[in-house]
Amino acid sequence: MEKTEEESEEAILRRLEESVNAHPDDPSLHFDLGLLLWEKGGEESNKEKAAEHFVISAKLNPQNGAAFRYLGHYYAGVSLDTQRGLKCYQRAVSLNPDDSQSGEALCDLLDREGKESLEVAVCREASEKSPRAFWAFRRLGYLQAHQNKWSEAVQSLQHGIRGYPACADLWQALGLAYQRLGRYTAAIKSYGRAIELDDTNVFALIESGTIFLMLGSFKEGVERFQQALKISPESVSAQYGLASGLLCLAKSCINLGAFKWGASLLEEASKVAKASTHLAENMSCIWKLHGDVQLAYAKCFPWMEEGQGLEFDLDTFNASILSWKQTCSLAAISARCSYQRALHLAPWEANIYADIAITTDLISSLTKSVGNNVNACQLSEKMALGALLLEGDNYEFWVALGCLSDHNALKQHALIRGLHLDVSLAVGWAYLGKLYREEGANQLARKAFDCARSIDPSLSLPWAGMSADFHARDPSPDEAFESCLRAVQILPLAEFQIGLAKLAVFSGHLSSSQVFGAIQQAVQHAPQYPESHNLYGLVCEARFDYQSAAAAYRLARYAISSFPGSVPKSHTRDISLNLARSLCKAGNALDALQECEDLKKEGMLDVEGLQIYAFSLWKLDKHDLALSVVRNLAVRVSAMEQTSVAAPVSFICRMLYYISGLDSAISSILKMPKDLFQNSGISFTVSSIHTLDIFNRLESVVSSSRCFLTSPEEIIGMHFLIALGKLVKHGTESCLGFQSGVAHLRKAIHMYPNSSLIRNLLGYLLLSSKEWNDTHVATRCCNVSTDRQNKEGLKSASEILGAGAVACYAVGNSNPKLSFPTCTYQCLNEPGAIQQLQKCLRREPWNHNIRYLLILNFLQKAREERFPHHLCIILERLISVSLSSEVYSKTDMCYQKFQLLLCASEISLYSGNKIGCINHAKNASKLLLPDAYLFFSHLQLCRAYAVEGDITNLQKEYLRCLELRTDYHIGWICLKLLESQYHVQTDLNILELSFKEYSKEENYSWNMWMARFYLVLGLISIWNQDFLSAEEFLAQACSSAGAESCLFLCHGAICMELARQSSGSQFLSLAVKSLTKAHKTSLVPLPVVSALLAQAEGSLGSKEKWERNLRLEWCSWPPEMRPAELFFQMHLLAKQSKSGPNTSAHVESYQSPEKWVLRAIHTNPSCIRYWKVLQKLIT
């Protein structure tokens, strides 16, 4: 085969030689022959012969650039005549600027000879001659980047990329140019394209990672450096970048409070930095980076995992503190060693001196050894002075000296010197203010803090200083709290966080999430301070987490026992009292009693301690001892100032009520001095007892004490108590006096229309009332327009809205799609309950009441929309999350769990999961609830077995419902529907008798429930084709309910059917009467009513009423829901309008009868009657 190819090449060569000999003046033949000899290669003589032919071809045709290109190859690569090669390449490029081979070869020769300027000129000339000289643009871009001409390089490289879009080096160079110009987003994109084309491009990975770190995208930067290290594990740049990225990412995590995560990132960063020191141990920047990582680790390492505090005793606490300090100290010592190594390599770097000073100061604060403290402080100052010796005009080093020095005079001098160098140095003013405040110069401190805050509002120390000075300046506690909160948000230091918690005690913000998160972080970073644990306990207690509060107070006592300084006894007493109180609230009265007895032995049981002592004894059923403690408390109260007696006197009244009963408490109150009741707090306690006394024996005391209620909040609270008193006093043994309470609140709400407390209580009472039409009013009382959820009262506004939307279908059905409103009390402007509940659940995902109400509202929405698939999935997820919560394992949550199980059963029923439906209903029936509730679980089982076709179990569950019975009318109505639909056998007509029996027991809404029962009986009669009985039942329903449009519609429809069957005019008259009432009583025009009324009037011979009612029917339907029959009826009107005068203004005249029929066919093409009518109209 090879021999054949050689023979063919030889034949071609001979033919070309013959042609050249025959036509010696043809340049193309010389070029072709030269090209064949050049490509043939082999001996050097072949290339010499080829060059001869190229020379002849160039002489014969001087415009042939290809000939000059090959001549350039010959002179540059074979004969090594560089000058001739340059000339030939220059000629080739001048003839064809797009010739990339000639251009690249020319530039390579020029580069080899160091003629960079000539190389730039050649590339620029070629690029100016031809926009497609991409090789010239690429080469020019590289040269301009080499010369740091970044703007010009960007333009050249962009042109070059058009010709070489897959060249990774071009994209990399473009990214570098963008980076040098500060266009970091464009640089990242260019580097990203280079990495896509060549995933082993380490330079692009490192540079893009560096840009990500500069832009604050630390995670992306870390990923780029990690990818670079996979390609080149020993790349010092990649390791340095990775360690820097991990350090930055860790600091961002620490600022968010994720200390454990930040510490783990710093551990990884330390390993990477340490590895890089082995590769480049003589680079000071790497040692400094390692020191920065270790210093950050020493500052952020948390004390313990969350929740471990419950398991501590004194020994383990001390051991954990020692272990934590050792870990932080070792990290700080390692940081100092790294800084010292960096300083050894670069002794001229002044900032390293400052780093060593800061690290030494941290080590001394962690070790706290008296012998070494003086030396450590002196070393810190010396290192700071060393930095100043190198850079005496650096104001940051003067501020560092001012912070690290222990001599106030030196501190002041250093800070003022720093301010001389830069008067706008906010941090200098802030630390100067701190120094003045420590020395008691509060006026100077305030001025310094004001200067710092005006220069840089984002500095934390001035805000903290302003809040710490609130006793002297007398701002409100809320203002001081907001200032300190601002400082904590800027810089989460433990000192600021502890101060925030202290201010929260005065301002009433202990339960806020900001304080909770801040004090948690303070415990992690200052576990050796008793105050951090004590404040954490107060915060947990305010959030009703009493177990965690008691554990925190115990840790505070452990910290006192191991605290090196002296702690006042009053502080120890306060912590013990806090512990006793939290134990008592947590239900551990025995331990609380022991704490109080220990305080009693030490003589530190004050008035608050006596209250806890008495309460613990009462909890342990030691009533006599509790009464004796209450008497001792009363003796102490008599010697107290009038402003401090409110809490102990209120406690005495409550304890007397708990132990001795209502009569004894009232008699004791009547014996008390009248001066004690001149206090709002005592007035509330006495009024609370008065609400339970039906004989009003405290009327005079309560009425006189109410004169001392001054603020609107106190007056509103008293109205709250008065309303509750009316519920008790005006009620019966089985029912509270809701109407009396509602009447009082309606008066109060006119005086205080913006009171959420009154509004929420009124809404709650209206929901609890058994009046038929109170539910729709309840939701109007609540104000949910504000962003934050108002929780004043027994229930929040959102909870009342959610419950009202479930109780009153009209409230939730604000935008009906598959049904039409008939309730005359429809709240058309009511905000969406589901949206409001979703907002509340996003704010408080732990609120199980909001989640429960959201499930019920979603179930109602799903029922209205015929259980669409997406709503069923939402409900299944919500119910699954709720039932998995530990909250529903408590006994008092059985009812909510019962409802959730029934909801899950309902969703399973409509989703086709019959087994799941039955299992959920059976689980609901096993709960410990009254029979009236369990009735509904067995009713659900009846429905499930009916769908499954299991008549035996259906009969069994039906009888079980009759045994359990219920006082909820809807249960009997549903059971009656099941009985009639599935022909359940029963010997006696127990169901009807039971329904009427329970209805007679209720004074409220008797007529409405009987009307609905008659409606059900009428529907059953219709199913049985007994229309006369159906008419009688529906007539009774209409007479019972009064103005219910849907009942009149049903009665009118059945009368129309009876008229059709018997052709009786009396039924037509009844139909007209009922349908007219349905039209008048409906809130909005109901579809079908006017159509039936038109048919009845037309049958009675009234053409005008027939036309008018058909036009009303057209307006009753939403445009998108109009049925085909309505269009068909409009064609009849259109036919009449052709013959009648003055009908052009009516809707039927806008289209011809044929078009109306066509619209009916378009809506329902399966109706043959429409097609027949259309055929008649056309023919």
Is-contact 1077 1048, C-beta < 8 A?
A: yes
Closest CA to 967 of 934, 938, 944: 934
CA neighbours closer than 13 Å in the CB half-sphere of residue 491: 12
Six-digit token pair at 296? 């950050």
In Å, what is the CA distance from 940 to each residue of 67, 679, 879, 895? 97, 56, 17, 16
Q: Which of the listed ranges 776-780, 841-845, 1139-1143 does the model predict with the highest average pLDDT?
A: 841-845
pLDDT confidence band for 1140 (50 / 70 / 90): low
Helix 797-807 and helix 833-843, axial crossing angle in degrees, nearest 10: 140
Query: How high is the pLDDT of residue 377?
Result: 57
> How far from chain centre, in Å, is Cα 378?
50
Closest CA to 1082 of 1056, 1121, 1123, 1048: 1048
Query: How high is the pLDDT of residue 159?
Result: 93
Give per-residue pLDDT as tens, 694-719. 888 888 888 888 877 878 888 888 88
Is-contact 936 902, C-beta < 8 A?
A: yes
Question: How far apart, in whole angstroms, are the C-alpha atoms of residue 329 and residue 917?
Answer: 62
361-392 burial, b if ≥16 CB within 10 A, otherwise e? bbbbebbeeeeeeeebbebbbebbbbbbeebe
Query: How high is the pLDDT of residue 990?
Result: 57
One DSSP character per residue, 967-1014 reads: S-HHHHHHHHHHHHHHT---SS-HHHHHHHHHHHH--SSHHHHHHHHH
Give per-residue pLDDT as tens, 1021-1051. 888 888 888 888 878 878 777 677 777 878 8
- Tokens 């605290």 appear where? 563
Query: How high is the pLDDT of residue 1004?
Result: 44
With 90 as the cut, is the pLDDT of residue 178 above it?
yes
pLDDT confidence band for 817 (50 / 70 / 90): low
Q: Indicate the SS3 state at residue 567.
A: coil
Closest CA to 550 of 521, 584, 517: 584
Query: How high is the pLDDT of residue 3?
Result: 52
What's at 534, amino acid-wise?
Answer: N
- Tokens 């009232």 appear where? 666
> How far from chain centre, in Å, is Cα 75?
74
Is-contact 139 123, C-beta < 8 A?
A: yes
State the chain's mean pLDDT as an integer: 83
> How far from chain centre, in Å, is Cα 716?
34
Query: How high is the pLDDT of residue 975?
Result: 80
Query: How high is the pLDDT of residue 180?
Result: 93
Is-contact 757 720, C-beta < 8 A?
A: yes
Cβ within 8 Å of residue 238, ≥6 positions away:
202, 205, 206, 209, 225, 228, 229, 232
Average pLDDT over residues 1123-1127: 83
With 60 as the cut, is the pLDDT of residue 376 above it?
no
Question: SS3 letters for 377-404?
Answer: HHHHHHHHHHHHHHCCCCHHHHHHHHHH
Query: How high is the pLDDT of residue 472?
Result: 55
Is-contact 1108 1078, C-beta < 8 A?
A: no
What's at 180, amino acid-wise?
Answer: R
Query: How high is the pLDDT of residue 1003?
Result: 47
Give per-residue pLDDT as tens, 677-696. 777 788 888 888 888 888 88
What's at 1080, amino acid-wise?
Answer: K
Q: Indicate the SS3 state at residue 1103.
A: helix
Average pLDDT over residues 371-377: 50
Average pLDDT over residues 646-669: 86
Average pLDDT over residues 454-475: 77
pLDDT confidence band for 191 (50 / 70 / 90): very high
pTM above 0.75, yes or no: no
Query: How high is the pLDDT of residue 992?
Result: 61
CA neighbours closer than 13 Å in the CB half-sphere of residue 195: 20
